[in-house]
Amino acid sequence: MYDADQNRTERKVGQKDIKITARDVQVYYGTNHAIKDVSVEIEDKTVTAFIGPSGCGKSTFLRCLNRMNDTIDICRVEGNIAIDGEDIYDRRVDPVQLRAKVGMVFQKPNPFPKSIYDNVAYGPKIHGLAKNKSELDDIVERALRRGAIWDEVKDRLQAPGTGLSGGQQQRLCIARAVATEPEVLLMDEPCSALDPIATGQVEELIDELKQNYSVVIVTHSMQQAARVSQKTAFFHLGNLVEYDDTEKIFTNPQDSRTESYITGRIG
């Protein structure tokens, strides 16, 4: 293993750190080749958007980053994915610990059938992050504040999380994900089940989160990608077609397929 810290100091001039490096990643579902030769470098403290038509593999690739694909029997991942220079598919890496470091928010809000407090305290509890009740209270409050939902729920922390509205549930799930202090936050179409107002709230929240985390967001909405992200990757049929600054992708795409997609001709 090489020294990640030293590597970081060397790169720290002029540009942001590289948080995740993927090299020649291949994903197979049985015999179906879902991701082909994807190589990408994702920066720290940046929002990176994955766009592309349905079935292009963007969610599959996202799920490689915290090894959620391990839970699917027929799924096979090849190639190299490293976070802070450490290969996450190495045999010595425990996916359970990896997932504590790489949080994830899903398409549909999925609060556990527990109280709001217990939802947020779930991660800290299973990872033993709090020594006592008051520390746990602090962690929960901090996470809910970061999830921009504290003011709405502070008086009813013992109410069931499933009783909140859709947008509140999604922000609760974001708060739950940040409660374990992850370094990377993966978001799989986090706004597709939300109305425009809730979407706006979540987008605002994503913008704030990038100060602390590397955020990777999969989205179907190109406007959303343009609004929240600094870097954009366009996937098509399992290939990473183009990856660049968001501004450049939307104003001056290099690949004709990217241009067709963002102007609405394929998708």
Partner 1 sequence: MTTLAFALLFVLACTGYVMNRRAAQAIWADGTRLHSLSNFHGLYSLLLVVIPIFVLIILWLLLAPFVINAITVASLPADVMSEASSGQAQLILAEISSIAGGRVFGDPEPWKIDAANRLVFLNEASSYALVAAVVVLGAALAYFARQRVSAEFRARQRVETMVSGLMIFCATVAIFTTIGIIAALVFETWKFFSMVPFTEFLFGLNWEPQIPIREGQIAGAGAFGWLPVILGTLVITAVALIVAVPTGLMSAIYLNEFAPKSVRSVVKPFLEILAGVPTVVYGFFAILVVAPAIRSFGQSIGLDVSPNTALAAGSVMGVMLIPFISSFADDALSAVPNALREGSLAMGATRGEMMTTVLFPAAIPGIVGGVLLAVSRAIGETMIVVMAAGLIAKMTINPLDSVTTVTVQIVTLLIGDTSFDNPKTLAAFALGLMLFLVTLLINVFALRIVRKYREAYD
Range list of H helices, the chain: 4-11, 58-64, 95-101, 116-127, 133-146, 150-153, 166-178, 196-209, 222-228, 246-251, 256-262
36/108 with CB nearer partner 1 = 108
**Exactly one of 57, 103, 238, 253 binds partner 1 (CB under 8 A); which one?**
103
Distance from the Cα of residue 99 to its chain's centroid:
11
**Exactly one of 106, 152, 183, 237 binds partner 1 (CB under 8 A); which one?**
106
18/153 with CB nearer partner 1 = 153
66/246 with CB nearer partner 1 = 66
Distance, CA of 157 to CA of 140 (rounded, Å): 10
User: C-beta of 181: minimal distance to partner 1 in Å?
Assistant: 11
Provide the 10 A C-beta neighbour count for residue 88: 21
Span interacting with partner 1, options 36-44, 131-139, 143-151, 169-177, rule CB under 8 A: 169-177
Span interacting with partner 1, options 25-33, 172-180, 194-202, 228-236, rule CB under 8 A: 172-180
Residues 214-243 as x/- pattern, contact with partner 1 by CB under 8 A: ------------------------------
CB-count burial class (<10 Å; 0-12, 13-18, 19+) for 141: middle
DSSP state string for 64-122: HTTTGGGGSTTEEEEEEEEETTEETTSTT--HHHHHHHEEEE-SS----SSBHHHHHHH
**Exactly one of 21, 110, 192, 239 binds partner 1 (CB under 8 A); which one?**
110
Could you say whether residue 20 binds partner 1 (CB under 8 A)? no
Which spans of this chain sit near partner 1 (rule: CB under 8 A)? 66, 68, 71, 73, 96-101, 103-104, 106, 108, 110-114, 122-123, 126-127, 160, 162, 173, 176-177, 180
